[in-house]
Homo-oligomer: A and B are copies of this chain.
Amino acid sequence: MARLAYVNGRFVRHADAAIHIEDRGYQFADGVYEVVTVLGGGFVDEAGHLARLKHSLGELRISMPFSDAVLKLVMHELARRNGVRDGYLYLQITRGVAPRDFKFPKACKSAIVMTTRRQRFSPVVEEGAGIRVVTVLDIRWARRDIKSIGLLAQVLAKQAAADAGAFEAWMVDPDGFVTEGASSNAWIVTRDGVLVTRQADHSVLHGITGNSIERIAGELGIKVERRPFSVAEAHEAREAFVTSATTFCLPVTEIDGRAVANGYPGELSRTLRQHYFAYGLTRQEQAFAWPK
């Protein structure tokens, strides 16, 4: 059976999935997205992702195309039809189709697109499976808390990483502090065993997976500090890792060509990954309230 996509109310063959050229997502990046992991046939951190989706839409005054219940139904139905037990669902909502004009159109129906992809995940990080990271200047706009489809700066950062043989780019603010990865949140473990990741303000995307990792760390009795850390501090860290919906918690073993600690995936990173994996399978999601 051909893989399906969901486009504005219809399940269509992925190859035929199209939107009008005047969809504002195509002309203005006037839309937002989410990526939700499917693990063992269920969505991980679904409530968190939907809460962030609503935050992004609300900040842009784009309306939800339909209720939460219908949205979830369509998400689950697409994953089911595509036989995705492990993988992820990509969901994009734009302001809709209107004759090109910068300001919001008076009458415009939000457009919604969903796709899925199968992917196997493992709770275990193999020896030597840590990722390389390079640092680049963070040149993005000032509202990074909105998960918009305006991702060109991230595309360039990710390509700079690929050009250097690395998996991820850590973006650095003008003061030398890491904001986050091009498609993940950035974490370090200090010499004292404290987890450090940037506070959730407008300078970074509020990570849903990162939130869960923070909670799990707390349950394990590990201290978490929400503050900026510098590239220099990262070079001296005991461990480093990234978090995102599709990477879960992935150890960083090299930053700008320098090994992190002994150059092997850190123990804490691997422990957190295993716990997150187990949590992801439980569907025991905590009630999620988007912070004010």
Binding site for B on A (CB under 8 A): 5, 7, 17-30, 33, 60-61, 90, 92, 99-100, 102-104, 113, 115, 117, 137, 139-143, 148-159, 161-162, 182-183
With both beta carbons as reference points, the residue of chain B lying nearest to A16 in the complex is identified as: B20
Note all chain B residues with C-beta closer than 8 A to A162: 103-104
Contact A149 B27, beta carbon cutoff 8 Å: yes
Give the number of copies in the complex: 2
Contact of A156 among B26, B60, B92, B182 (CB under 8 A): B60
If A17-B20, A153-B141 touch, whether A158 touches B100 (CB-CB below 8 Å) is no
Smallest CB–CB gap between A168 and chain B, Å?
A: 10
A137 to B141: give the CA distance in the assembly, Å: 11
Contact of A155 among B102, B113, B115 (CB under 8 A): B102
Contact of A19 among B21, B141, B157, B183 (CB under 8 A): B21
Smallest CB–CB gap between A185 and chain B, Å?
A: 15
A26 to B27: give the CA distance in the assembly, Å: 8
A209 to B107: give the CA distance in the assembly, Å: 32
A282 to B177: give the CA distance in the assembly, Å: 53
If A21-B115, A140-B141 touch, whether A103 touches B27 (CB-CB below 8 Å) is no
Between-chain CB contacts (< 8 Å), 25 pairs: A5-B21, A7-B21, A19-B19, A21-B113, A21-B115, A23-B26, A25-B26, A28-B152, A28-B155, A29-B149, A29-B150, A29-B152, A30-B152, A60-B156, A61-B159, A100-B115, A102-B158, A102-B182, A103-B162, A104-B155, A104-B159, A139-B142, A143-B153, A150-B150, A150-B151
